Amino acid sequence: MGGCIAGLWCKGVAVLQSTEPTKLRSVRDAASFVMVPFSNRIGYGQLKWQGVQYSIERNFAPEPHAIHGVGWERGWSVVQQSPEQVTLNLVHQADQNWPFGFMAEQRFLLEDKTIKMVLKIKNTDERIAPVGMGWHPYFVKRKGAKLTFNSTGRWEMGEDKLPTVRTAHQGINQITDALNVDHCFDGWSGSVVLEDEVQCCTIRSNLNRLVVYTHTGLESIAIEPVSHVNNALQMATDIAKAKALGIQTLKPGESYECSMQITVEKK
């Protein structure tokens, strides 16, 4: 089921939007899933890469875009497992959902107060391939919870849910009860704190972009470390622009790896 996390608890208290594993019926209801080989959207499923135009399957009806890559919609294989850690593997052959072959690996490690996650992708195609990825965890949003992180910019979003322009932005430091946000922040410091009266969660990553999504009608808040700007694959007109937007370009056989962790302090 997309190699997803069904639930994450700290001493019986939900950290993420959590479901008992045997009751989970859809990745949409999961606590977290990975986004690979791209995060967020490719506008209208249209990708132009090195002079070739590709149409990517639109997989989030009724939206007209391709979203979150293919990893969250495919089955992953268990490579190694113990009570404290697990390694999952996904092999992708080029298809209408993504035109480049790759192999991806997820590693999870549970420690005393922390879950560590590593995501790795290897280009198994014969062509240079664009790559991006990230995590999509849904944190429980309790009344009075405060969100804090630093950034240098934010990408504004049009009605079509695609980014328009980048504006200077110092991040967020506020109570989430009235927060309405669905943006990609760049120049992110790599650390986020979500604190409420029950627990304090610190999210860290070696990535420097962050997507945050919530509104007043939601009981969760998505805090997503990502490698590139939303719709970067469509906005990247050449390799230099792709790099500036956070897209990795991998030659055949090359790999890219990133990590994140969640540390929980119960009050």
Please tell me the predicted confidence (pLDDT) of residue 17: 97
Q: Which domains does the chain have, with CATH numbers?
A: 9-266 (2.70.98.10)
The tokens of 253 are what? 């056989």
Residues 55 and 179: their CA atoms lie apart, in Å, by 35
Please tell me the predicted confidence (pLDDT) of residue 190: 98
Residues of the chain with pLDDT under 70: none
